[in-house]
């Protein structure tokens, strides 16, 4: 929090708008839509709720298939199960770590031949890196399948000068506590389809028919954002640009200090994109060094530095053990490989230089010690 959030919270209290709806919600929606260049935005209680609404609007139901990136947080795919539909997971490609156009193409062709195309494709932009949208959208457009962009981690990222989350039919953002801006918990659905967004507002507020006697014809949800939290979001949105700059600087600092070390490959930035560097992530290549991901994570932990492995791919999760999976190439499971070698470093927008130095020193020390030992053996 910056401290300035209090101002809008106070406004909510002063006007006694303590409800899921209200002037802060309306303003937050408009300000976010304007910021990213979407026609409409609907503020909801979480990013997961926004994905669920998107699938609901696309009429995803029991027996349907939905394609989804595998290398992501479980929330990207859980709403597929909420709808009783079947997830099919798509591998990453090595450059962006995001959905592989090769794997998507193969999955789509097979589904077409089997006569069961997916109802939607959920494309995730991992750690703020945009997926290869031109290639992916070309495939989805060819088969006329709508795209939901899971931009929970990529708010502020641009792809060919358009904001991540505004290239598909629907985009979703998250304001969970760990994201680049936060309302403690919250999310946003964006789209240029104004009818669909009106329907989203209806479904997110218990799908109450326009009658005074609480009549309901379809299944709805209690997914609207509270007017207090939307106040927090309005201030946070004003901080987004400077946070992107701060996170890009943190990445640049890590890269400058660590990229020369043997086996370390930082997630590169896709051409014609500007990523928000939500998290600085790299892989440690086992062919170039004997230092493993778990050795590095342990060394950081010993110094009380919180780092994380990358998300465990969803096709490897017990929850999804029966789901179909399409690899980038035969015998080449990119998501699994990144999972076994990838590390996310502390990347908070307020991380000080001396805190970054602690991380850098620890990694340098660990790698040089282990590499030297290896050479002696
Ligand atoms: C955080 C996150 C979500 C879910 O957002 P919530 O607001 O926590 O529900 C979905 N997808 C990805 C990739 C995320 O990182």
User: What is the best residue among 44, 45, 47 to mutate for testing ligand 1's pocket, by most ligand atoms within 8 Å of CB?
Assistant: 47
Cα separations in angstroms, 182 against 22, 34, 35, 50: 19, 18, 16, 15
- The dihedral built from the CA positions of residue 81, 84, 88 and 93, taken in this order, carries a sign that is negative
Task: Give the model's pLDDT for residue 243.
Answer: 97
Ligand 1 center–CA 151 separation, angstroms: 8
Q: What percentage of the chain has pLDDT greater than the value 70?
A: 98
Residue 3, pLDDT > 90, answer: no
Domain ranges within the chain, ordered by starting residue = 5-240, 241-370
Give me the CATH topology for the region 241-370. Answer: 3.90.1150
Report the chain's mean pLDDT, rounded to a whole number: 95
Cα separations in angstroms, 99 against 102, 120, 162, 335, 358: 9, 14, 19, 9, 34
Choose among 201, 234, 317: nearest CA to 8.
Answer: 234
Q: Which numbered atom of ligand 1 lies nearest the CA of 174?
A: 7
Q: What is the pLDDT of residues 204-215, one digit of tens each?
A: 999 999 999 999
Q: What is the pLDDT of residues 117-142, one digit of tens each?
A: 999 999 999 999 999 999 999 999 99
Q: What is the pLDDT of residues 351-363, one digit of tens each?
A: 999 999 999 999 9
Q: Which numbered atom of ligand 1 lies nearest the CA of 186?
A: 7
Q: Which numbered atom of ligand 1 lies nearest the CA of 72?
A: 13
User: Among the residues of the chain, which ranges form H helices?
Assistant: 5-14, 23-36, 47-57, 78-82, 101-113, 133-142, 194-204, 227-258, 293-302, 334-341, 353-376
Q: What is the pLDDT of residues 104-117, one digit of tens each?
A: 999 999 999 999 99
Residue 371, pLDDT > 80, answer: no
User: What is the best residue among 130, 153, 173 to mutate for testing ligand 1's pocket, by most ligand atoms within 8 Å of CB?
Assistant: 153
Q: What percentage of the chain has pLDDT greater than the value 90?
A: 90
Q: What is the pLDDT of residues 61-119, one digit of tens each?
A: 999 999 999 999 999 999 999 999 999 999 999 999 999 999 999 999 999 999 999 99
Task: Give the model's pLDDT for residue 374.
Answer: 55
Cα separations in angstroms, 147 against 119, 122, 307, 356: 9, 6, 32, 37
Cα separations in angstroms, 146 against 59, 89, 120: 11, 16, 5
CATH for 5-240, among 3.40.50.720, 3.40.800.20, 3.40.640.10, 3.40.605.10? 3.40.640.10
User: What is the best residue among 80, 92, 149, 176 to mutate for testing ligand 1's pocket, by most ligand atoms within 8 Å of CB?
Assistant: 176
Pocket lining for ligand 1, CB < 6 angstroms? 46-48, 72-73, 75-76, 124, 150, 152-153, 174, 176, 187
- For residue 214, give the 3-state DSSP assignment: coil
Nearest CA to ligand 1 atom 2: 152
Ligand 1 center–CA 58 separation, angstroms: 20
Residue 231, pLDDT > 70, answer: yes
Task: Give the model's pLDDT for residue 262.
Answer: 87
Task: Give the model's pLDDT for residue 332.
Answer: 93
Angle between helical axes of 5-14 and 227-258 (0-180°, round to 10): 170
Q: 5-240 and 241-370: same fold?
A: no
Q: What is the pLDDT of residues 275-293, one digit of tens each?
A: 999 999 999 987 788 889 9
Rounded Cα gap, residues 154 and 120, in angstroms = 20
Residue 377, pLDDT > 60, answer: no
Q: What is the pLDDT of residues 144-187, one digit of tens each?
A: 999 999 999 999 999 999 999 999 999 999 999 999 999 999 99
Model confidence band, residue 372 (pLDDT cutoffs 50, 70, 90): low
């Amino acid at each position: 929090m910056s401290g300035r959030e209090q101002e809008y919270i106070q406004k909510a209290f002063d006007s006694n708008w303590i409800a899921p709806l209200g002037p802060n919600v309306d303003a937050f929606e408009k300000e976010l839509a304007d910021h990213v260049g979407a026609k409409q935005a609907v503020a909801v209680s979480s990013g997961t709720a926004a994905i669920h609404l998107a699938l609901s609007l696309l009429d995803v139901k029991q027996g349907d298939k939905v394609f989804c990136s595998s290398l992501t947080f479980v929330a990207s795919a859980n709403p597929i199960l909420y709808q009783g539909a079947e997830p099919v997971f798509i591998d990453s490609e090595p450059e962006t770590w995001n959905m592989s156009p090769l794997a998507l193409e193969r999955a789509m062709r097979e589904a077409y031949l089997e006569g069961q195309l997916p109802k939607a494709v959920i494309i995730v932009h991992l750690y703020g890196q945009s997926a290869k949208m031109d290639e992916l959208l070309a495939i989805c457009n060819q088969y006329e399948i709508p795209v939901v962009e899971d931009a929970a981690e990529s708010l502020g990222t641009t792809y060919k000068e358009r904001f991540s989350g505004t290239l598909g039919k629907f985009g979703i953002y998250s304001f969970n506590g760990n994201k680049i801006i936060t309302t403690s918990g919250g999310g946003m659905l964006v789209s240029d389809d104004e009818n669909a967004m009106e329907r989203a507002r209806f479904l997110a507020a218990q799908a109450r028919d326009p009658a005074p006697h609480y009549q309901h014809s379809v299944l709805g949800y209690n997914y609207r954002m509270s007017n207090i939290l939307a106040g927090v979001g309005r201030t946070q949105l004003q901080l987004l640009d400077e946070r992107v700059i701060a996170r890009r600087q943190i990445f640049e600092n890590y890269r400058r200090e660590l990229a020369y070390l043997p086996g370390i490959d930082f997630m590169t930035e896709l051409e014609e994109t500007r990523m928000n560097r939500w998290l600085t992530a790299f892989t440690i290549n086992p062919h170039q060094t004997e230092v493993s991901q778990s050795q590095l994570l342990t060394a950081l932990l010993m110094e009380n530095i919180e780092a994380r492995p990358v998300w465990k791919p969803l096709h490897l999760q017990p929850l999804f053990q029966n789901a179909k999976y399409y690899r980038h190439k035969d015998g080449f499971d990119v998501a699994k490989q990144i999972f076994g070698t990838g590390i996310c470093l502390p990347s908070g927008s307020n991380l000080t230089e001396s805190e970054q130095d602690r991380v850098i020193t620890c990694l340098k020390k660990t790698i040089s010690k282990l590499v030297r030992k290896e050479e002696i053996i």
